[in-house]
Structure 1
């Protein structure tokens, strides 16, 4: 049996996109351990095929040279192969310091000494599932539809977490209105509020607002503009519980974000509103998903800009998506389910 260490990416969405790689490795008999930063580790705890999750004690953006050496010392002799998913130099240090015999990753930032099997860097912004899955070798991913991320929780976990939140599975909507990357990815709060009011009036179900502590103010703004319709759980749940709440929702509405990919991996009916980023690069890989992106419809030559803040100050790619359009798309996804 090949003992494999997977060095995980630092973003939730990218972590979700690595699940097909885990599936490939597990299917051929590899014993997979994921080494991940604390805010990403819960994603791997919801992946079949991951035997163990090691939380890495590093701060975002820091080299932490000494800490990486200490962690590597605890891993020496435990693994035969390392798969390094991020392209940075620092992400390849632990497998190198640990003396893992086979260290696989992309050329990245120039890592000839750290990795002994290097794939050439692809041009542009490739689909992330194929990007990660290629590290396993074998045939390339021909189409994203044939290999999409999947996460899972057992029924007992779903019942426990929803009950603790005073909810019932399939008895609420979930919105994820934030995005770590910046406001150019965020559908307006006023639009979320209008949609929440309409869904609550039509179905009588609460709308749960999810996100990190950084998104509490945004979620409070949405809830205040939709009196009685919303429950703000942003900043009040762990990531693992937020994932469970997404898995139990009747439907999900979000921006292009990590929680969008979580919803896709659970196969939840969802609508994803794209602005500055491109669904050609990071779509929700879910047959129950509907993407709304106005690039062609509004002939937006600036899209995708991948900016954090709209350089023109209008964010037409987002403000032009009406709440009524999102509600109709969500209704369509529910019927398709």
Structure 2
């Protein structure tokens, strides 16, 4: 690895999505490994930024005030003026958009590292080309920007989020969880709509199975996932079960980190919360449809991925009833329950 100067100040322009931000921690770890005294600040939209609070490598988290597909020049100029006083030595820009590179450029950060993207010549002055043969995963593309040369196989440091046992105890006390019981986390949501989601009717079978064994079952996700959670609950015979907890839309992102760290096992779609579960080392089974576990796998030694197709598709439109992807419909509950049992026996 290439040593960087001690106490160097670096600004990371982070990704917008929660899962990508979790994977970006591999870059932060690599930078700290090369230079433990380095100061790392991260700027990102408010919806992905809270996860950096649980990354010990991050010194300061900065809200970019960004919105998807919206260029707020007034906010960009304001933040750039404020960041000039910090005198960063380098910026590493993870997204490939023009918008993401503007703040480091306007803040006069001397070295601005990133991949080729939307008309960024000059704005990015340390342009990198990525080698798909050795950077075939998102996490490797991020980590490679922390090295001067990327023509060799990357050794990835897995993300590892800090957890608060005290906060988890508080949450469990508030919702009256019997902590003597085993617990499974169910993560039914995913961005890009139904095509990345395992059918709610299938999830309900898993929920009923674990409730019948007197496990605690936790449904977790954002407000967007409440519809999926309701669909799962409505298909079960245990709607009023004291061991069923629907936390979708009711917790902060940092709360989800702590609750997931206290699950015995997790069942999840390919989603941002999947990456959080992996980063707190909870055994998990992840179901994939059009996306690929080769490209964005859960970064954990205690994860199993299930899939009924090969390759990777950028198309996020389901081809089955309910908007689901046919490959996920083919992945039956019995198969998933078997893998959940296997991973529980293996690690617990």
Give me the TM-score of the superposition, normalised by structure 2: 0.89
Taking the aligned partners of 2:31 and 2:272, their CA distance within structure 1 comes to 23
- Aligned residue for 1:82? 91
- Aligned residue for 1:92? 101
Q: For 2:305, which of 269, 280, 291 is the aligned residue?
A: 291
Residues 169/41 of structure 1: CA separation in 2 closer, same or farther (3 Å cut): farther
- Aligned residue for 1:252? 266
Taking the aligned partners of 1:178 and 1:6, their CA distance within structure 2 comes to 28
Q: Are 2:168 and 2:255, in contact at CA under 8 Å, matched by a contact in 1?
A: no
Taking the aligned partners of 1:326 and 1:215, their CA distance within structure 2 comes to 21
- Aligned residue for 2:75? 67
CA RMSD of aligned residues (A): 2.1
**TM-fit CA distance, 1:150:** 1.6
Q: Are 1:148 and 1:285, in contact at CA under 8 Å, matched by a contact in 2?
A: yes
- Aligned residue for 2:228? 218
Alpha-carbon deviations, 1:154-177, whole Å to 9, x = none? 332332333334334974211110
Taking the aligned partners of 2:112 and 2:282, their CA distance within structure 1 comes to 36
Q: Are 1:170 and 1:249, in contact at CA under 8 Å, matched by a contact in 2?
A: no
Taking the aligned partners of 1:325 and 1:61, their CA distance within structure 2 comes to 39
- Aligned residue for 1:241? 255
- Aligned residue for 1:142? 153
Taking the aligned partners of 1:58 and 1:65, their CA distance within structure 2 comes to 10
In structure 1, the residue corresponding to 2:145 is in which secondary structure? helix
Taking the aligned partners of 1:19 and 1:322, their CA distance within structure 2 comes to 34
**TM-fit CA distance, 1:126:** 2.6
Alpha-carbon deviations, 1:45-68, whole Å to 9, x = none? 111211111122222221101110
Q: Are 2:22 and 2:159, in contact at CA under 8 Å, matched by a contact in 1?
A: yes
- Aligned residue for 1:188? 199
Alpha-carbon deviations, 1:166-197, whole Å to 9, x = none? 33497421111011122111000000000000
Listed as ranges, the gaps of 5+ residues in structure 1 are: 297-302
- Aligned residue for 2:3? none
Residues 165/76 of structure 1: CA separation in 2 closer, same or farther (3 Å cut): farther
Q: For 2:216, which of 206, 230, 233 is the aligned residue?
A: 206
Flag as ranges the 4+ runs of structure 1 deviating above 6 A. none
Alpha-carbon deviations, 1:264-292, whole Å to 9, x = none? 11111100000011111001111110100
Q: Are 1:223 and 1:231, in contact at CA under 8 Å, matched by a contact in 2?
A: no
Q: For 1:114, which of 123, 140, 156 is the aligned residue?
A: 123
**TM-fit CA distance, 1:310:** 2.2
Alpha-carbon deviations, 1:48-103, whole Å to 9, x = none? 21111112222222110111000111110311111111000000011011111111
**TM-fit CA distance, 1:240:** 1.6
Listed as ranges, the gaps of 5+ residues in structure 2 are: 1-6
- Aligned residue for 1:30? 38
Q: Are 2:267 and 2:284, in contact at CA under 8 Å, matched by a contact in 1?
A: yes
1:138-177 matched pairs, under 5 angstroms: 138=148, 140=150, 142=153, 146-167=156-177, 168=179, 171-177=182-188
Q: Are 2:165 and 2:258, in contact at CA under 8 Å, matched by a contact in 1?
A: no
In structure 2, the residue corresponding to 1:34 is in which secondary structure? strand
Q: Are 1:129 and 1:148, in contact at CA under 8 Å, matched by a contact in 2?
A: no
Taking the aligned partners of 2:154 and 2:91, their CA distance within structure 1 comes to 26
**TM-fit CA distance, 1:152:** 1.7
